[in-house]
Chains A and B, each alone.
Chain A
Amino acid sequence: MIDALGSPSSLLLVGGTSDIAVATARRYLQERPLRVVVAARDTPRRAAVADELTAAGAAVEVVDFDADDAGSPERVVAAAAAGGDIDVAVVAFGQLGDQDALATDPAAAAALGQVNYVAPVVVGTVLANRMRSQGHGAIVALSSVAGERARRSNYVYGSTKAGVDAFYSGLADSLVGTGVSVLVVRPGFVRSKMTEGLPEAPLSTTPEAVAEAIVTGVRKGRHTVWVPGAMRFVMSGLRHTPRAVFRRLPF
């Protein structure tokens, strides 16, 4: 149960090796020990994350998750729920993709659509079913400012995030009154392993800042958070920039 002051006792990280997922778990663990289910592919990185969170005070459970496997989300959520109710679930997996390849390779575009859009929609549906029946819980979905308006430099990625954002925003409204809430998180450029080697964009942020925004957003029952907060106004401006200007912007 999430208590009266917004502290959960269990956390499911789908895409549990993502820097934002790990930072979120660490941020919660600064307050209290809790049960953390790390759902990710079986890699050395997953084992390292499990060790790190255990050392930080978590009771860690590890579950296999593969975004390319249609049956994987059901198995992940069933395994996580076997140990008790899921209080907060963070849907944190995704790939940036190589835009040059994506621009011409239909198979690569389809693969990114599977990982970044189809799989999160399946995970969200399975999580919503589970949380609706348990009567409480919070789903945190990692969207991106890139989904707010697709740019020529990463429109495939941006389009998947636009889809994810629309799905979880609609899901949030459909769950009103069920005890379940959804928080859509729209970070700007996050300095993390996903963006390693890329040139930094303006208003860039860190996994820790995103984690802080997630914990505060869940605590306050927010529906959407931008990280950093100023991104909201920047994107509002960009959304209304004439197309002829927008496509010439240098990013």
Chain B
Amino acid sequence: MSETTLLNGWGRTAPTPAVLTPVHDDAEVRAVVQAAAAAGRGVVARGLARSYGDAAQNAGGHVLDMTAADAVLAFDAETGLVDVEAGISLDELMNRFVPQGFFVPVTPGTRLVTVGGAIGADIHGKNHHVAGSFAQHVRWLDLLTADGEVRRVGPESDPDLFWATAGGMGLTGVILRAQVQLKRIESSRCLVDTDRTPDLDSLMTLLAETDHLYEYSVAWIDTLAKGKRMGRSVVTRGRFATLDELPAKRRADPLKYHGSIKISVPDVFPPGLLNLATVAAFNEVWYRKAPTRKRDQLQSIPTFFHPLDAVGGWNRIYGPRGFVQYQVTVPFGQEEAMREVLDRLSSFGTASFLAVLKRFGPGNPGMLSYPSPGWTLALDIPVMKGLAGLLDSLDEVVVAAEGRTYLAKDSRVRPETFAAMYPRLDDFRAIRRRVDPDGVFTSDLARRLSL
């Protein structure tokens, strides 16, 4: 049933109302798209709403709830190619295919994203430096465009539309189905190495020198550490264990997998509970408890990839005013810009839990795809006084370094700043004009940034 609903993103900021319609098949999607075209405020698809900002909101218009269409349509156990409806989550893909010896090609820090959303945001994970982003593992997708037609689009068959849709935040049409190349695994356990680095220099050196030895790599930075300790981090890197690397007792059931949410955060957190004192104390404990160096530790998929998924609704801890995630990347050679960003954040005193730093590998042809070779930093910041000005000034540092911000995380970048970050924005706009001349597909994000 369609119903006007106040929608917000994971950061719980700037909610707006839209007519939300759960859709189960192509005909239902088409009907809503046609209704939206007539009503004049457009439509956008919404998955599991893990984008932090306003990507899956459409004030005064229509929003499609895609999560009802979540079937596996075909699976080839020889090749690992799976055809799915776009509303299926990575969580469900893992539940189904890890026991059969296949993992998703790319996973972000949460399993709770849909395949449609993973393509729309062209998500990346800890293996970006070797595997690229999600869209690079998509063989084709079925896109319902503004004319009501369903087009099968692939990187070979219609590269322009494919690479506008990958990372295109749902603005080229509705992704209905996709074929995804899964990754073969022998076990559901990861072999993880942990290293603690005392500052930013040693962190960047460690990652630059040895990242290529690992399939998965990420560093958690304490953004509240200042001065000589600025950038102190815990680096965890690993790969899936092979059968003979498992201890004997696990070899009987090497693909055993259980990815459930254990506890939920109640919606009662007052604003300001997370302040500098509490967060700094947490970060200190977290840094101290990590081993200086540890090798070949066996970890489960949820522990290694999705630690926060164990806590349902963790975004509520930031209280009713919500939070933003600031994620930016700067190219290799611009390490000083990254240092300046971190330095300004730590001296401003944003009460941020651990930030994430990672080295990206090569980018892809996606016009609005975020990953590009260099360093990417992501951190959550509760909404506070002066934050708008601070982040605008950090954006200037990033733009000067020819870096960029990630649309799936964004809720506040200036439109002209965004345009300076994505030189292919005009190509993207040209594709949109071709497939959606009347601008039926739109969102709060698209309006805010004049995409």
Contact = CB atoms under 8 A, between A and B. Distances in A.
A135 B383 contact: no
Contacts of A9: 415, 448
B415 A179 contact: no
B322 A136 contact: no
A100 interface: no
Contacts of B444: 1, 136
B61 A135 contact: yes
Given A4-B324, A4-B411, A135 B447 contact: no
B388 A31 contact: yes
Which of B16, B387, B391, B412 counts the most A-chain CB atoms under 10 A from its CB? B16
B244 interface: no
B59 A135 contact: yes
B68 to A, nearest CB: 23
Interface of B: 6, 11, 13-18, 41, 53-54, 58-61, 322, 324, 383, 387-389, 391-392, 411-412, 414-416, 444, 447-448
Contact of A4 (B6, B41, B383, B415): B383
A85 B59 CA distance: 10
Contact of A1 (B17, B18, B387, B448): B448
A15 to B, nearest CB: 26
Interface in A221-245: none
Contacts of B391: 5
Contacts of B14: 1-4
Contacts of B414: 32-33
Given A177-B17, A179-B59, A5 B324 contact: yes
A178 B4 CA distance: 9
13 contacts: A1-B444, A1-B447, A4-B14, A5-B383, A6-B388, A7-B388, A7-B412, A32-B392, A133-B60, A135-B16, A135-B41, A178-B17, A179-B17
A60 B320 CA distance: 35
Name the 8 nearest CB pairs between A and B, nearest first. A135-B60, A135-B59, A4-B411, A4-B13, A1-B448, A5-B388, A136-B59, A3-B412
Given A31-B388, A135-B16, A179-B17, 15 more contacts: A1-B444, A1-B447, A5-B13, A5-B324, A5-B411, A6-B388, A9-B448, A33-B416, A84-B447, A134-B60, A135-B18, A135-B58, A136-B59, A177-B17, A179-B15
A31 B383 CA distance: 17
A232 B339 CA distance: 46
Contacts of B61: 135
Interface in A126-161: 132-136
B385 to A, nearest CB: 9
Contacts of A6: 388
Nearest to A178: B17
A179 B60 contact: yes
Nearest to B5: A177
Which of A3, A9, A84, A85 counts the most B-chain CB atoms under 10 A from its CB? A3
B60 A4 contact: no
B383 to A, nearest CB: 7
Contacts of B11: 4
B6 A179 contact: yes
Nearest to B414: A32
Contacts of B53: 4
A146 B351 CA distance: 42
B16 A179 contact: yes
Interface in A108-135: 132-135
B59 A134 contact: yes
Contacts of A7: 388, 412
Contacts of B18: 135
Nearest to B416: A33
Contact of B412 (A5, A133, A135, A177): A5
A192 B389 CA distance: 29
B220 to A, nearest CB: 24
A189 B13 CA distance: 35
Interface in A20-44: 31-33
Nearest to B58: A135
A169 to B, nearest CB: 22
Contacts of A32: 392, 414
Contacts of A84: 447
A5 B59 CA distance: 17
A101 B444 CA distance: 51
Contacts of A31: 388-389, 392
